[in-house]
Chain A
Amino acid sequence: MEKLEYSWEHLVRRPYGSAMWDIANMDGNDVVVFMVREKRADVEPLPQQVGVHWRSGGIGMMVQGQRVMPVVVMMNFIPLESIYEMWFNFYGEAGSTVQEAFTLLGRQDRLYALFFDTGPELVRGFGFNNNVGHFFRGHYGICKALPPWDDNLFNLAKHQLQSERGVRELWNYLEDSGIGRVPMVDGRQHGAIDPDLGDYRVPPSAR
């Protein structure tokens, strides 16, 4: 039987700088929270208001002849001069949970960044305006229209993306390529998406 662990429990065993997401309950509502492990001494003295940029993107790829679309949320946390990436596997074994996360991110008002160090208690938590809601509302349908992929293919795709691009390069790529954009309803395409995702893949220049 595979050992289960809480999200925070997993995170605090990972190196500093690790980041992931979970669905948790805040004031009676289920919300997606973004969790980061950083040193208490770095996070505790941060001011009440901090500058943050968020970006999201769905990166369609062909892996072993099958379409896979890893979705990434990136948080540029200005006071720590750090960019974090967190991944969503729409069809992973935790599929229904991930799909619920898409739905929640599509409608929750805030994005939450929660900082942990060694235990389950938050060192600091910050709430921001949700500017990726539109992206997640659009990409729920886009991912749903794709044939399901398995965890292995997702991990291969993620590994390929990470080996092709550093965090900073991926951050710039999401903006420059327009891949974080949702396709237009008037037929214009951004992020090279078409109904069967025929040309939706990392462009040659990105390889």
Chain B
Amino acid sequence: MEPGTTPAMLFGKLKHMEETHSLKDIKDMARKAGVSPTGTKRDILLKVLEKKASTWQEPVTAPMTVRGYSRRPRRQWAEQEGRRWRN
């Protein structure tokens, strides 16, 4: 999915695929994407799209108010820390 994809575009894509693909095709698609191929066409497509929606981003309405950060011992935070790769 390309950057800039909106929820409306995503829904349009889902409806289009629901209409044009057989249940078998959609199940194959689900297997390929590594999600469970059970449920209705729409259920399965939603799971596939969720999996594939790796670049779908939305603007966040500002300001973002975040409260209630946790307090923990340093080593517990350190456990979660990861590295960065920069091109």
Measuring CB to CB, which residues of chain A are less than 8 angstroms from any residue of chain B? Answer: 2-8, 10-11, 14, 17-27, 30, 33, 48-55, 72, 74, 78, 80-89, 92-94, 97, 110, 112, 114, 120, 122, 125-131, 133-134, 151, 154-155, 158, 162, 166-168, 171, 178, 180-182, 184-186, 188, 190
Question: Which listed residue, A24, A122, A168, touches B85 by the CB 8 Å rule?
Answer: A168
Among A23, A85, A114, the one with the most B-chain Cβ atoms within 10 Å of its Cβ is: A85
Range class of the B interface residue count: 35 or more
Which residues of B have CB within 8 Å of A94?
72, 76, 79
Question: Which listed residue, B36, B54, B65, B81, touches A20 by the CB 8 Å rule?
Answer: B81
* A2 contacts B47, C-beta separation under 8 Å: no
* Closest A residue, CB atoms, query B49: A131
* Closest A residue, CB atoms, query B82: A85
**Distance between Cα atoms of A24 and B71 in the complex (Å):** 11
**Distance between Cα atoms of A18 and B79 in the complex (Å):** 12
Measuring CB to CB, which residues of chain B are less than 8 angstroms from any residue of chain A? Answer: 3-4, 31, 33-38, 47, 50-60, 64-87
Please judge, given known A-B contacts A55-B54, A94-B72, A186-B37, whether A24 and B86 are in contact too, CB under 8 Å. Answer: no
**Could you tell me the distance in whole angstroms from the C-beta of B38 to the nearest C-beta in chain A?**
6
Which residues of B have CB within 8 Å of A8?
69
Known: A83-B84, A84-B82. 13 other contacts (CB 8 A): A6-B69, A14-B81, A26-B65, A51-B55, A52-B55, A82-B85, A89-B79, A114-B64, A122-B64, A127-B60, A167-B84, A171-B85, A184-B31
